[in-house]
Chains A and B, each alone.
Chain A
Amino acid sequence: MPQPRERRTAAPVAPAALIAWQRRVQSSLLATTVPERPAEPARDGSIVRVEARAAAVSMPDEAGLAIYRRMIASRFHNVLLQAYPAVRVALGREGFDDAVREFVRDCPSTSFTLAHLGDGFGAFLDQRESAAWIAELARLEHARAACLDARPLGAPGGLPAAHEVSDWLGMGFAAPPTSRILDLNFRVDVWRARLVVGDRASAPASTRPERAPHRLAVYRVGGDVRCRRLESDEADLLVALRGGARLGEGVAAAMAASPTLDSMRLTDWLREWFELGLLAIDSATNHDRRHVE
């Protein structure tokens, strides 16, 4: 994260009348109640000046406020619609609109970018929706966007130079930010794929995805995002390695859980994980290793 580079230290002091007026206007625009803020140190350490006799700024006319209110609601709705198109289909138009209204009321944006507006939508739906798969669908759509947004570590590479799994046992790995592993109870990826690939009108919102607890790898390939269902033992090892476990530790745990695992299968997994960008070398701990071209 870049560091601030200002020379001055004195923080500007907000007029009390402006503070009070902005709170009233925002409260009206977001239709929420914001408690009055007393004189207190601001977040940057400055003291907010409260002038008891500061002239109040009059509230704007309601017609003008209503225009802003509509624009704000419309903007939030459009951002969430773009971020969660499949959830929109799953909930139906009215259901989605209601959910969005409640979400922006309960989880107001605190980020400078609208890109993060929908970050908590999946958790919100998890609390709100009786159909748990819809929250999982939201988590999948959010993961897809996160994979697309992330800065790649580099092009997916080959396996580190070695001939046997045993050569890699001391290696440390990292989770590329362009990939996610989701714990899911429903095949929402299949449901969503039918929705996107097929005729939208022929995918009624009343259909439900198959119930099947599994872990799903979500990963970016160029400008596209793909999904692959992971087998249970494969997922255990992959999650462990992405979490920082050395290969030796991970393999030992995997072998204990699945004694039939052999080195050929492990090698195939590793090769595929690297090719798909699900796993990368942790350069901090393996800086002297070379990649197989």
Chain B
Amino acid sequence: MNHHHESIDLGVGLGLRGRHVAHVLDHRPEVGFFELLSENYMGTGGRGLETVERIADLYPTVLHGVSLSIGSSDPLDRAYLAELADLADRSGARWVSDHLCWTGVDGRNTHDLLPLPYDEPTLAYVGDRVRAVADILGRPLVLENPSSYFVAGSGCMPEPEFLGRLCDAADCRLLLDINNVYVSAVNHGIDAAHYIDTIPADRVVQVHLAGHRDLGTHLLDTHGDFVAGPVWDLYGRLLARTGRVSTLLEWDAEIPPFDVVWAEARKAVDYRAVASPASDARHVPAGAMDGGRTGGTPEAAADDREERRHAAAA
């Protein structure tokens, strides 16, 4: 493995939502990057692709999917992956992420992110699939920890250990959803701080922040509210380990006006201000996460971002 290290911190970003697109294109806010929901631009015959290209001309983008189903016992969906690879090329996405989960089996799709049993056979199987997906996409895969409402299997390893071993075995990266950590921790009675302390920090390339709802019996990951205090605390705790890392606010339900969402996301700036630069704390091989756009040098990556800033200001 190449141990030349590169900062790939894209700053603070937002998930691109349809109701905000016109505002973004008209006002060009200083958002660090936009995350595009992959499936919104796939299998629709082209709806929204023009939007993708316009946004990608102005901002760094990353792709985030919900249907990879990396843990399903069904074979990988080659057509889906081919279309995803094409979208990644079109959008110039810096990386492609999805969830450590399964969404269906026997050709069916529940369209939900279902947890996996964190046992040895599953670890080996998912590791093989992660490598296969990275081959098809032509770039490393980034996986997100899911929120969960049941524990799959018994006597399995803790999620951070599973993620760490998966990253080592399959050379993948992590999108750590802090809200998911908190929701799952409360639902399953585990220590969220310990989770943050044991996650492989050097593999984290992106963070998700989001809101949840307390339903009394459990926390529900709604993406429909402001980020809760304990989640911000965990975010600060993570940054102490990772340094500044690309951070994104997800707001998918009851979406307020852009300025409200962006103001919430910008709270992350204060946490990042007291964190060390990413390159001091995190280790990612050079060129691994630039989507093949920059040739893999930090300088080129910076130039590319700068060009986008100039374009945004034009």
Contacts and interface: CB of A to CB of B under 8 A. Distances in A.
Interface string A39-82: 00011101010000010011011011101100110011000000
Interface stretch (A143-151, A182-190, A201-209): A143-151
B43 A116 contact: yes
Contact of A25 (B78, B114, B129): B114
**Which 9 A-B pairs have CB atoms at the shortest separation, nearest pair first?**
A64-B150, A151-B46, A60-B150, A12-B128, A14-B73, A2-B86, A15-B121, A112-B67, A6-B135
Nearest to B43: A113
A1 B109 contact: no
B82 A1 contact: yes
A77 to B, nearest CB: 12
B75 A67 contact: no
B256 interface: no
A255 interface: no
Contacts of B131: 8
A26 B108 contact: yes
A277 B154 CA distance: 59
Given A57-B119, A149-B47, A15 B125 contact: yes
Contacts, number: 164
B138 interface: yes
A177 B46 CA distance: 11
A70 B156 CA distance: 26
A19 B73 contact: yes
Interface string B244-284: 00000000000000000000000000000000000000000
B85 to A, nearest CB: 6
Interface residues of A, number: 61
A3 interface: yes
8 contacts: A2-B85, A8-B132, A29-B112, A44-B76, A54-B121, A108-B108, A108-B109, A110-B107
B47 A26 contact: no
A4 B85 CA distance: 8
Nearest to B107: A110
A44 B78 contact: yes
Interface in A71-125: 71-72, 75-76, 108-117
A29 B114 CA distance: 10
Contact of A22 (B81, B102, B107, B111): B102
Contacts of A13: 125, 128
Interface in B141-190: 148-154
Given A12-B128, A58-B153, A68-B149, A110 B108 contact: yes
Given A12-B129, A65-B150, A30 B46 contact: no
A246 interface: no
A3 B73 contact: no
Contacts of A113: 39, 42-44, 67
B128 to A, nearest CB: 4
B218 interface: yes
Contacts of B43: 111-113, 115-116
Contacts of B39: 112-115
Contacts of A63: 150, 217
B79 interface: yes
Nearest to B188: A64
A18 interface: yes
Contacts of B31: none
Given A6-B136, A12-B132, A110-B108, A42 B75 contact: yes
Contacts of A17: 121
Interface string B209-229: 000000001101000000000
Contacts of B202: none
Contact of B132 (A1, A6, A19, A146): A6
Interface in A122-172: 146, 148-152
Contacts of A71: 112
A166 B214 CA distance: 72
Given A13-B128, A15-B122, A114-B39, 9 more contacts: A1-B82, A11-B75, A15-B73, A19-B105, A21-B153, A22-B105, A34-B105, A54-B121, A67-B220
A43 B104 contact: no
B26 interface: no
A64 B187 CA distance: 10
Contacts of A114: 39, 111
A150 B281 CA distance: 46
A7 interface: yes
Nearest to B103: A112
A18 B138 contact: no
Contacts of B154: 58
Given A17-B121, A21-B117, A149-B46, A1 B83 contact: yes
A43 B73 contact: no
A5 interface: yes
Contact of B44 (A5, A12, A46, A115): A115
Contact of B122 (A4, A18, A60): A18
Interface string B21-46: 00000000000000000010011111
Given A6-B135, A8-B135, A58-B153, A109 B108 contact: yes
Between A25, A65, A146, the greatest number of chain B beta carbons within 10 A of the residue's beta carbon is seen for: A25
A34 B129 CA distance: 24
Nearest to A116: B43
Contacts of B80: 112
Given A60-B152, A113-B39, A1 B79 contact: yes
